[in-house]
Amino acid sequence: MKSAFPGIKRIAYEGPASKNPLAFKHYNPEEIVEGRTMREHLRFAVVYWHTFRGTGSDPFGAATMQRPWDDGTESLKNAKKRVRVAFEFIEKLGAPYYCWHDRDISPEGRNLAESNRNLDAIAKVLKEEQQRTGIKLLWGTANLFSHPRYAHGAATSCNAEVFAHACAQTKKALEVTHKLGGEGYTFWGGREGYQTLLNTDMKREQEHLAAFLRMAVEYKKKIGFRGQFYIEPKPKEPTKHQYDSDSAACLNFLREHGLLPHFKLNIETNHATLAGHTMQHELEVAGAAGALGSIDANTGDELLGWDTDQFPTNIYLTTYTMLSVLKYGGFKSGGVNFDAKVRRESFEPIDLFYAHIGGMDAFARGLKIAAAIRKDGRLDAFVKDRYASWDKGIGAKVESGKASFKSLEEYALKKGNPPKNHSGRQEFLENLINEFI
Ligand code: XUL
Ligand code: CO
């Protein structure tokens, strides 16, 4: 097959002084940061859906993307060709991982059996390409939101027949993920929520969602799939409200249903901001619960209120993200997955390279800056010092469970004067961060 990206060679690290737009200025895969290579820290993944299936169409206009290798049909032949193109791209970019939904990689058939056969046929080609290139599957997932059958949801559908179909589709996607050596599997509840409460039995729907996830955990064990399960929070879009609305809601749901030991979270920036949070907030909520698994790296636009899935280029964003990731011990099974799409106006194939190179460099800078802030130690020392009253005396007593309202009343009465506080020094700390950016 002839090259889909002729004239583009493997993207190399050329350092910050390079003016070559097809080179990394900061992502040097072999460079050691905090004892690990950048490649090991960042574990970059390319998404199949936006990058190889995105057409650039929007509610106001038709497709714009120039993808000369793609004949635009849903044939198996086209799907197979696309796999070769995808691996040429990922290999040239030098990303070690990729991610897919079952229906991005292979066409939906006339019935489930045919869809499954299509998926097997494509999995065979994916496996060949994985072996040829050494590129690995970070996670797989089932698309339980595009087909009209999922209009009322999948695991939370009012229709038990649809629930059964969703379970069957997920079973197959899990098997294929396992066969391809996937390091994880993601559950994003695109339509697991409601448009109106007038027609919704929320309690019942949430119980069905738990039953679905319980069966997935059971089946994972049965087939010996050791990959990590992730829930990806998102508050809305396409539905008005999705049950996995943010990290805290997901953790609460998982705890309530005894599922927490089996899941971690896959946190996406644009989903965090749609929920009214920062990415850092979502990472900290997940991290504090020991459930920070992976990230879908992208960004929204401050002036647009929807999931624009832009490539991340903001160094503050990547710095704060990597500060949290490093704080919680770095990625184990997860990675930095670019769930991001080029703009409709960036329609040439080469734009896919510019977009990913920019995202990878932004994360490499975020990693290096975060590591420098940690090495400097002033930020950590400030936070530690801010809580110093808990390390001894009355604070230590409370933390060790040796205090009661009564003993604290005695203590406060004896002290008499109002407690003395110290400045939070937000501006001082913001200036400190800027020393490193
Ligand atoms: C949608 C989204 C999904 C998930 C996988 O907003 O982020 O693509 O990442 O289903
Ligand atoms: Co995502």
- Residue 389: the pLDDT is 97
Hunting for tokens 């069957």 — which residue is that?
Answer: 168
Q: Is 296 in the pocket of ligand 1 (CB under 6 A)?
A: yes
Atom 1, ligand 1: residue with shortest CA distance: 190
The number of beta carbons lying within 10 Å of the beta carbon of residue 103 is 23
DSSP letter for each residue of 413-435: HHH-SPPP-----HHHHHHHHHH
Ligand 2: distance of its center to the CA of 268 in Å? 6
- Residue 177: the pLDDT is 99
- Residue 98: the pLDDT is 99
Spell out which residues have Cβ within 5 A of ligand 2, the ion. 268, 296, 339
- Is it the case that residue 1 has pLDDT exceeding 90? no
At 3 the three-state DSSP class reads coil
Ligand 1: distance of its center to the CA of 94 in Å? 23
Q: Is 186 in the pocket of ligand 1 (CB under 6 A)?
A: yes
- Is it the case that residue 418 has pLDDT exceeding 90? no
Percent of residues, the chain, with pLDDT higher than 90: 99
- Is it the case that residue 59 has pLDDT exceeding 90? yes
- State yes or no: is 281 an active-site residue: no
- For 349-398, what is each residue's pLDDT tens digit? 999 999 999 999 999 999 999 999 999 999 999 999 999 999 999 999 99
Contact of 316 with 361, CB cutoff 8 Å: no
Atom 8, ligand 1: residue with shortest CA distance: 339
Q: Considering all CA atoms of the chain, what is the largest pairwise distance in Å, rounded to the nearest integer?
A: 83
- For 213-255, what is each residue's pLDDT tens digit? 999 999 999 999 999 999 999 999 999 999 999 999 999 999 9
CA distance linking residue 427 with residue 20, whole number of Å: 37
Q: Is 129 in the pocket of ligand 1 (CB under 6 A)?
A: no
Packed helices 76-93 and 349-376: angle between N→C axes, nearest 10 degrees:
40
Q: Is 268 in the pocket of ligand 1 (CB under 6 A)?
A: yes
- State yes or no: is 339 an active-site residue: no
Instruction: Give Cβ neighbours of residue 77 (< 8 Å, ≥ 6 apart).
Output: none
- Is it the case that residue 112 has pLDDT exceeding 90? yes
Task: Tell me which of 26, 41, 50, 101 is the catalytic residue.
Answer: 101
Q: Which atom of ligand 1 is nearest to the CA of 307?
A: 6
Ligand 2: distance of its center to the CA of 414 in Å? 55
Q: Which of 227, 232, 136 is nearest to 184 (CA)?
A: 227
Handedness of CA 355, 361, 363, 365 (dihedral sign): negative
- For 141-150, what is each residue's pLDDT tens digit? 999 999 999 9
